[in-house]
Amino acid sequence: MKAEIISVGTELLLGHTVNTDAAYVARELSALGIDLLFSCTVGDNPARLREALQTAFARSDLVITTGGLGPTGDDLTKETVAQAAGVELVRDPASAARIEEYFRGRECGPSQYKQADLPRGCTVLQNDAGTAPGCVFESRQGVLVLMLPGPPSELLPMLHHYAAPFLAARTGGVIASRMVRVFGIGEGSAAERLADLLESSNPTAATYAKENEMFIRVTAKAETPAAASALCEPMVAEICRRLDEAVYIVNEDGTSDSCLEQVVVQALAARGMTLATAESCTGGLLAKRITDVPGSSEVFHMGAVTYANEVKTRLLGVPAELFDTVGAVSPEVARAMAEGVRQAAGAGLGIGITGIAGPGGGSAEKPVGLVYVALSDGKAVWVRRMNPAGRIRSRAALRDRAASVALDMARRRLGGLTQPEAEAFALV
Amino acid sequence: MKAEIISVGTELLLGHTVNTDAAYVARELSALGIDLLFSCTVGDNPARLREALQTAFARSDLVITTGGLGPTGDDLTKETVAQAAGVELVRDPASAARIEEYFRGRECGPSQYKQADLPRGCTVLQNDAGTAPGCVFESRQGVLVLMLPGPPSELLPMLHHYAAPFLAARTGGVIASRMVRVFGIGEGSAAERLADLLESSNPTAATYAKENEMFIRVTAKAETPAAASALCEPMVAEICRRLDEAVYIVNEDGTSDSCLEQVVVQALAARGMTLATAESCTGGLLAKRITDVPGSSEVFHMGAVTYANEVKTRLLGVPAELFDTVGAVSPEVARAMAEGVRQAAGAGLGIGITGIAGPGGGSAEKPVGLVYVALSDGKAVWVRRMNPAGRIRSRAALRDRAASVALDMARRRLGGLTQPEAEAFALV
C-alpha cells in the first residue's frame, strides 16, 4: 500500500509551526508496514489543496490529510477533499451530539456544527481531545482517504486509538516492534557486529543514531500481535547477545524516548538505593535529567552544582590543596566530589563531574572537552576520562554526553557490570 | 516570487526525524516576503525526487531542496537535481580544498570529495559547520534552485549567513529584522496591545509564541541594510513602550534562541553580582539553564538540588518545623530556601523553588502545578505562586515554566523593575 500525507495549514508554510503531525503519522505508517512515498504541505487554500489531492489520488492508495477540520472559515479541508473525491458531505448525528455536549452551557454557533459534516458512508473517527471528528472513506477513484485534525493533542489519540487499528485491519496483518537501546558503542561499530542481522527482512533490524544515543529497531509483521512479537524475540535476543553490556533496555514499542535516566531511577528503586550528584561543568544537567523521571524524588535526595572551588571544599569536602596541585579538572577532584556528595547526602552512590565544557577556559594541557566523571559506592570509586579529541564540539552536546556517561556508569554499577574505560580506586 | 521546498530524506518519511528544516526555511522566506506555496518531502529515491522536481519546476520560481548533499550512497540530491535542471556537475576546487582541510590527519575517501561536485556556474554556499557545501543556480527552465544540507546545525548557518542575503538581493532589496523578546505576557494580550502595529506592512510586526516564551519579530525591507534597520527602529521602540517591563531583550537578528538566562548572566556580570539556586521540583533545570550560558561560572558558584526535606534543612537551613506546619510546598519554605542558599553560597541573590511537578504527588489542597518561586537579595524576599489551574500540563513544561519565572524575577530585580504577581517580605 502506497501512502501520501497532505498537511494543510498556512501556519506550516509560514514556519510558525513545525510539522510534527507528519512525523507522527509517518512513524505509525512505518510501524504498520505501509510505504509512505510523499508528504506534502499546502496552505489553507482550496485551489492548491485540490492540486495536491489530484496528484495524490493518481499515484497513491492511501491519502492522509492533517488539519483544516475545525470550525473557522479557514478550515476547508473536508469540503475540498469531498469534492475532489467525488463524495457528498452529510451531517453525522452522533458527532453533532458530541459537539452539543461539549458546548453545554456555552454558546455554540452553526460553524461548530459544520465539524459534524462528514463524507457520506465514512467511518467516523472520534476526537477524544476536541470537537472536530476525523474520518476514513473510499474516494470515487478507489483511494482510501483518512482525514485527521491538525492539533497534535487531537491528532495523536485519534491516530493511535482509531486510525491505526483501522489501517492495520486493512493491510491484513499487524506489526510488532522492539527498540534495543544501547550506550557506549558507536553506530558504525554496532552495524559491523550486526551486519548479517541488518539484512533480514521479517523481522527487520535497523540502527538509528542521534548525537548521544543509539538504538536498534526490530520490526516484524504477522497475522496476530502474538505471532509478530514471536518473530521479534529471537532477533532481539541475538542483538542483546552480541552487544552484551552495552544494551541498557529493550523497549516494547518504538515510541518512548531515550531513557538511560529512567533505567537508573528504576534500578535504584528496585534496590532501595539512593544516588547523589556533584556537578561542575554539567551545571545541574545530570540532576535535571534524573529528576525528569517521575518518582525520582524517592531515590534522589540531593544534588550539588559546585562551580566555585571554595564551594566544592565546603559542601563536598574536596581538599583545598588539590586545586593548587592537580587543579579542579582532575581525576582526583572528580573522585573527591563523588565520594564527598555521597557522604553529604548519606546516599548509596555518588557521582562527581568536573571538566571544561567550553567554549572558553581550555588550555593546551587541559583542552575544552576534557571531562572527568567519577562514581563512588563508598567502597570503590571509578573515574572515566572523556576524550577531548572526540568529535563532540558544542557546549550543549559535551555536557549532555558527560551526563550520559555518568548515568551509564551508575547503570553498570547497579547491574553488576564492568566499567569500561574507567580506572578503579579502592576507598579506605 | 513563488517558492517551493523539497525536503529529501527517507528518515523524514519514516518519521524518525521531524522536518524542522522546512520550518526554518519557511520562516526565512516569510521574512523575505517570498511566498511559499508548497512544501514536499520525498525519500532518498531518485525517481520520486525527479517527479517532485518536475512538478516544482513547472509551477514555482524558486525551488529549495534540503538534504542529500553528503558523502554516502544515499545522498543523491545533487545528481538528480542537476539532471532535472539540465546542468552539469563539476568539482569546485575551493570546496574540495575545504574538505581536504577538514580531514587533515584522518582518512578522506573519494566519496568525501563527491561533496565538492556542484552545478557548473553556481554560487557556492559555504558550510561553516560541516563538509557538504550548498549552492544556488538557475535551472534550464529559468527556475532559481537552492540546495541546502539536511542537518539543522549545517542548514541554519548557511541559510542565515549565505542563502538569505543572496535571496534578499534577488528580490530587490535587503531585509533587516529585530526580535523583541517578552516574558510574563500572553500572546493574546500582546496582540491586543499591538493590534494596529501588527497591521503594518513595511516594517511588518508579527507575534510568535511557544509554550513558555513569546517574541515579536519586526521585519523591514529596503535598498540598504541601514535603511532597512532605520525602518525597524521606530516600530521596535513603540513595541517596547507598550509592552514595557515585559520586554527582556531586543535581538538584532532572528536566529538566537530564547535567552532569559543570558540576560540574567549578563546583568549579574555587569553588576559584579553572583546568584545561587536551591531547587526542589525543578531538580537542577534552573542551574542547568544558567550554566548553559558560556561564562556563567563567573556569576554562578553554587546550586543545590534538595529533594529531601532533611537536605533542605541541613544544606540550606530551612527550619525543620516548617515541613510539619506549612509543608515543603509552601511560600515559607521557598523563602527559606532562597535566603538559605544565598547565605550558604555567599551570593548576592538567592532563588528557591518548591512545588509539585507531577504527575504524582498532588492533592486537592496542593494540586500538581502548584509551585512557589522565591528570590532573595538579603534585604527582601519576593515569592511568586504559580497558578496550578493554568494551562501548562506536562511535567517538563511545568518545570521549564518555573525556571523561567525564577529567571524573570532575577532579571527584574537586577534591572530595578517591579515584581508583578509576587508578594514581598522584608528580611530582618
Per-block mean pLDDT, blocks of 10 residues, chain A (428 long):
95 86 90 90 95 96 95 87 97 93 78 92 92 96 96 88 89 82 82 86 78 79 87 96 95 66 96 97 96 93 95 96 96 97 97 91 88 97 84 77 95 96 88
Of B155, B170, B185, the last residue of a domain is: B170
- What CATH number does the domain containing A312 carry? 3.90.950.20
Of A29, A40, A307, the CB nearest to B40: A40
Reported as a pLDDT band with limits 50, 70 and 90, residue B346 is: very high
Q: Does A215 lie in the same domain as A280?
A: no
Distance from CA of B427 to the nearest CA of A (A): 25
| More confident site: B260 or A15 | B260
Q: For residues B338 and B409, state if they share a domain.
A: yes
Please name the member of B15, B300, B396 whose beta carbon is closest to the beta carbon of A23: B15
Cβ neighbours of B66 in A, within 8 Å:
none
Nearest residue of A to residue B43 by CA position? Answer: A37
- Shortest Cα–Cα distance, B27 to chain A (Å): 4
Q: Residue B330 class from Cβ within 10 Å (0-12 exposed, 13-18 middle, 19+ buried)?
A: buried
Q: Among A20, A52, A302, select the one facing B305 at the smallest CB separation.
A: A302
| Pair (A186, A80) in one structural domain | no
> Are B22 and A41 in contact (CB < 8 Å)?
yes
User: A14, B28: Cβ pair inside 8 Å?
Assistant: no
Using DSSP's 3-state secondary structure scheme, residue A203 falls into: coil
Give residue A212's pLDDT: 67
Residues B196-213: tens digit of each pLDDT: 998 888 898 877 766 667
| ipTM confidence | 0.75
- Kindly state whether residues B86 and B29 are assigned to the same domain: yes
Q: Which of A232, A251, A270 is the last residue of a domain?
A: A251
Query: How far is A248 from A263, CA to CA, in rounded Å?
Result: 7
Buried residues in A144-158 as b, exposed as e (16+ CB within 10 A): bbbbbbbbbebbbbb
Q: Give the chain A residue whose CA is nearest to the CA of B293.
A: A395
Domain count, chain A: 3
| Same-domain pairing of B274 and B412 | yes
Distance in Å, alpha carbon of A14 to nearest chain B alpha carbon? 5
* Residues A123 and A181 placed together within one structural domain of the fold: no
Query: A120 and A23 share a domain?
Result: yes
Is there a single domain that holds both residue B266 and residue B147?
no
Domain boundary among B187, B219, B251: B251
Quote the distance between the C-alpha of residue B365 and its chain's center.
36
Q: Strand, coil or helix: what is B308?
A: coil
Let me know whether B6 and B59 are in one domain. Answer: yes
Beta-strand ranges (E) seen in A120-201 are: 123-125, 134-138, 144-148, 174-182
Provide the CATH number for the domain around residue A211.
Answer: 3.30.70.2860
B22 touches B156 (CB < 8 A): no
- Distance from A91 to chain B by nearest Cα, in Å? 31
- Asked if A24's CB is within 8 angstroms of B14's CB, the reply is no
Q: Which of B14, B39, B344 sits opposite A41 (nearest CB)?
A: B39
Provide CB contacts within 8 A for A416, sequence distance 6+.
none
- Residue-wise pLDDT for B87-104, tens only, equals 999 999 999 999 888 887
Looking at residue A149, which CATH number applies to its domain? 3.40.980.10
From chain B, the residues in CB contact with A48 under 8 A are 37-38
For residue A111, CA distances in Å to A71, A114, A117, A130 come to 5, 5, 11, 15
Band the pLDDT of B130: cuts 50, 70, 90. confident
Range of the domain at A384: 260-426
pLDDT at A133: 96
